[in-house]
Amino acid sequence: MLNSIARGAGLRTQSSTTITIPAPIGGWNARDSLGAMPIEDAVTLTNWWPGTNSVVLRYGYTKFATGITGQVESVISYSGVTANKLFAAATTKIYNITAGGAVGAADLSSLTNARWQYINMRTSSSYLMMVNGADKLRFYDGTNWAKDGDGAGYDITGVDTSTCSNITLFKNRVWLIQDGSLKSWYLPINSIAGAAVALDMSSLVQMGGYLVAAMTWTLDAGYGMDDYLVFITSNGETLVWRLTDPTTPTGISLIGIYQLGAPIGKRCWVKYGGDLLIITQDGVVPMSGALQSSRLDPRVSITNKIQYAMSQSISAYSTNFGWDMLYFPKENQLILNVPIEQGSQQQQYVMNNITKSWCNFTGWDANCWALYQDDPYFGGNGFVGLAWNGTV
């Protein structure tokens, strides 16, 4: 009997079933529980890029410019008619790094800080205009540097430009944000100098604070008749203006005041097609959706799928310098810089513009980003890196 059972047991066979698991092209999911997560999503997706039909290891970076002393906190792109140039700001100096390699002597020195906001403005020539909230506004014309009030003809009156911490260009006018105030100052049309006039929003906001940034919001993906000028305060109040000529009563009107989450950093926004994306306490929100119900409906945020990780990072690192965004069209990447610790632990949360899938990159210790000739550059500790290039 025992032998018979043994012989019968020996005849049993094992079977297996093959299951095909798709590549995690749905990207990083830091919102849903494991049981509720779609099969194409990933609990973690570090240094892997979710493409449209496959997932690939992220590219590295190369050190484009070296020999810079200190942390590079601004990478600045100058756009001329026939020539473009690239600069890097670190500690108290600004270097021309257009040629790459080891840098030479600094173009500018004895500055107060390296955290510059800038625009490119075209009048009779092409000008780079920069402010950092501590030094007088700097100009660059493609050959020479100048500063406000140095006697070279670039004089701005009405406001002390050393108190201006942000700058934007709207319908051929330069707009300056005065640090710690609710005033924005505009220059004469088609001018880089002259008498600045204040647009004081103190009586309009209800939650106090100060202006952080000014942005151009357009509904037609260009710079035309549908453009609006948007200001955001440190408490998230967002003022939307329709402006044709702010010097006349009929040329300026307030469209509305809306409440968003408080913005994170001075480099809190990026132009994204016909919309604006803004880094706020509620995540990265599109202007078009945010004005509806972003504070009530978290799904408006484009970081909704990684909201738990985003919320943790904002809670822990929102006061750190280095929050920045860059849209990299060649690879359809939206890069959000997350400054964990300057010079050693920065990360990037990166979204595929086509699929809206997220991942995170480590190993690119970036303080700031800039797009130059359609390639992404970042400032690191003593160097400027060319990202998505090489194997590091």
Per-residue pLDDT at 382: 97
Largest CA distance in the chain: 112
Among 136, 65, 72, residue whose Cα is nearest residue 321:
72
Per-residue pLDDT at 46: 98
Is pTM beyond 0.85? Reply is yes
CB-CB neighbours of 269 under 10 Å: 25
Per-residue pLDDT at 225: 54
Per-residue pLDDT at 289: 81
Give every residue of the chain whose pLDDT is below 50, as ranges: 1-8, 221, 223-224, 294, 296
- The share of the chain scoring above pLDDT 70, in percent, equals 92
Q: pLDDT for 289-323, tens place per residue? A: 877 654 545 567 899 999 999 999 999 999 999 99
Give CA–CA dist 129/154, Å, rounded. Answer: 11
Per-residue pLDDT at 13: 67
Angle, alpha carbons 121-123-128 (nearest 5°): 30
Residues 326-361: b if buried by 16+ CB within 10 A, e if exposed: bbbeebebbbbbbbeebbeebbbbbbbeeeebbbbb
CB-CB contact of 304 with 286 (8 Å): no
CB-CB neighbours of 134 under 10 Å: 14
Per-residue pLDDT at 22: 87
